[in-house]
Structure 1
Amino acid sequence: MNTAEVVKKLIPLLGGVENIASATHCATRLRLVLHDDTKGDKVAIDRLDSVKGCFANAGQFQIIFGTGLVNEIYDEFIKETDIEQRSKSEVNSIASQKQNIIQRCATL
């Protein structure tokens, strides 16, 4: 499956474009902040070709693609969703707003 196909299948499994608050990536993972994490279908996302796993942590929904591939997926994801590109620190800041006060203090 090519990256465009993966992204087109991924978006509805995240609750659609309207559920995606922001996106970035690190060396291996697509890192997303969703408005409603419960709309992210982890089981279905895990079954997509090229996905090596996914989980929610610290207000972020992270999908593991691996080194190199994640860059291509991210570029296609931004193109398909028209979401503003963000740095990892910007996404971390947005994600922290979803955490309760105790969680936010623990990350300081």
Structure 2
Amino acid sequence: MAGDMPTILLLIASNFFMTIAWYWHLKGGMARPLMTVILISWAIAFVEYCLAVPANRIGYAQGWSGGQLKIAQEVIALAVFGLFMVLVLKEPLGWRHAGAFACLIGAAAFMFAGK
């Protein structure tokens, strides 16, 4: 598990940038022109790619399958988005969020069983 830490940390960092790139404009940026929002989001997403691509390469080189990388990314993405949703968008977490997260954790358990 310690050898997996660079992959996990890079995926967490990349998901912070991905979430910001996709959703930053929903809170206070809705009046900006769409093309401006797209260009700013592309700039932010560039950083996300600079973190996600090495995360996937490192994980794959360490023996993670493509499916394991994807399911790990989805679990991390949901956790990061949950924080963003509550802290930035000021939206409450509900039982459906917990259920969705539990389903992804179950999917991760299946993908990593026996690894």
Same fold, TM-score > 0.5, yes or no: no
Larger fraction in strand: 1
Larger Rg over CA atoms:
2
Q: TM-score, normalised by structure 2?
A: 0.31
